[in-house]
Amino acid sequence: MNFKDVLDSDLDTLLDTDEFAQSIEYRYGTETPLNVNAQVFDEASDIGDSVMRIIIVRMSDIPTISTRLSSFLINGEVYGVISYTADEHNLLYTILTQRSMRNV
């Protein structure tokens, strides 16, 4: 087993909804929404209301991502993708999102 395989197996724990993660809905354009396990972190805000979140998700759970067509549904709120980066092993996306003004 190589290092990448070890990291990938550790993701099962980090993205377990009974441990550290939560199940959220991923939407891409008009395609059928997907439920994905993700770690969700509030981004610091000066006004006290978190309108931005950082999402950590397994790349293989999201077949396509873009800043124009991708969004997440988290606790009934839609968050659009501002930016995303892949880790050096191409296992995880770190995604910066912002709460949308559109309705669900």
Tokens found for residue 32: 């059928």
Q: Determine the pLDDT at residue 60.
A: 94
pLDDT tier for residue 84 given thresholds of 50, 70 and 90: very high
Cα separation, 32 vs 60, whole angstroms: 16
Q: Determine the pLDDT at residue 46.
A: 65
Q: Could you tell me the residue range of the domain that residue 39 belongs to?
A: 3-99
Tokens found for residue 82: 């501002």
Residue 78 inside a domain? The answer is yes
Q: Determine the pLDDT at residue 1.
A: 75
Residue 104 inside a domain? The answer is no
Number of domains in the chain: 1
Q: What's this model's pTM, rounded to 2 decimal places?
A: 0.84
Three-point CA angle 41, 85, 19, nearest 5°: 35
- The residues with which 34 forms a beta bridge, in sequence order, are 26
pLDDT tens, position by position, 25-83: 999 999 999 999 999 998 766 666 668 899 999 999 999 999 999 999 998 999 999 99
Element (H, E) at 4: helix 3-14
- The residues with which 95 forms a beta bridge, in sequence order, are 55, 84
| CATH of residue 68 | 2.40.10
Residue 55 inside a domain? The answer is yes
Residue 50 inside a domain? The answer is yes
**What is the Cα 48 distance to its own chain's centre?**
22
Cα separation, 78 vs 41, whole angstroms: 15
